[in-house]
C-alpha cells in the first residue's frame, strides 16, 4: 500500500462492539481520531464471529484496526504514536 497523503483527514476504524462488551481500545482510537479532527468511517464489528473473521483476514491478534487514507496504522497504541509524530 502507498503512504497516505499528509493532508488526508479520512480514517477508517474497525472496532469490536458486542452486545455485552465494547472494546476500550476501540473507544480510545475513536476519541483520538475525533480529537485530531479526522472524518471517521466507524465500522463496528458486532459479533464474535465477525470480529474473529476480521482478525484472521488482517493477521491481527486484537482489535481495533485504523487506516488513514490507504495507510494501515494499526491499533490504538500505534495510532497514538502515529498522531504524535505528525
Q: State the CATH number of the domain containing residue 28.
A: 3.40.30.10
Asked whether residue 2 is assigned to any structural domain, the reply reads no
Asked whether residue 27 is assigned to any structural domain, the reply reads yes
DSSP-assigned states of every residue in 29-63: HHHHHHHTT-EEEEEEE-SHHHHHHHHHHHT-SS-
3-state secondary structure of 8: coil
Asked whether residue 57 is assigned to any structural domain, the reply reads yes
* pLDDT surpasses 50 at 2: no
For the stretch 69-78, pLDDT in tens is 999 999 999 9
Domain count, the chain: 1
Q: What is the pLDDT of residue 8?
A: 75
For the stretch 10-30, pLDDT in tens is 999 999 999 999 999 999 999
Give the mean pLDDT of the chain. 93
**Domain range for 17:** 10-84
For the stretch 26-40, pLDDT in tens is 999 999 999 999 999
Amino acid at each position: 500500500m502507498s503512504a497516505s497523503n499528509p493532508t488526508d483527514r479520512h480514517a477508517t476504524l474497525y472496532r469490536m462492539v458486542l452486545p455485552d462488551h465494547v472494546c476500550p481500545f476501540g473507544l480510545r482510537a475513536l476519541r483520538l481520531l475525533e480529537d485530531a479532527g479526522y472524518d471517521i468511517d466507524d465500522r463496528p464489528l458486532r459479533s464474535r464471529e465477525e470480529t474473529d473473521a476480521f482478525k484472521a483476514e488482517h493477521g491481527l491478534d486484537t482489535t481495533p484496526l485504523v487506516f488513514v487514507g490507504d495507510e494501515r496504522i494499526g491499533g490504538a497504541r500505534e495510532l497514538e504514536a502515529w498522531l504524535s509524530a505528525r
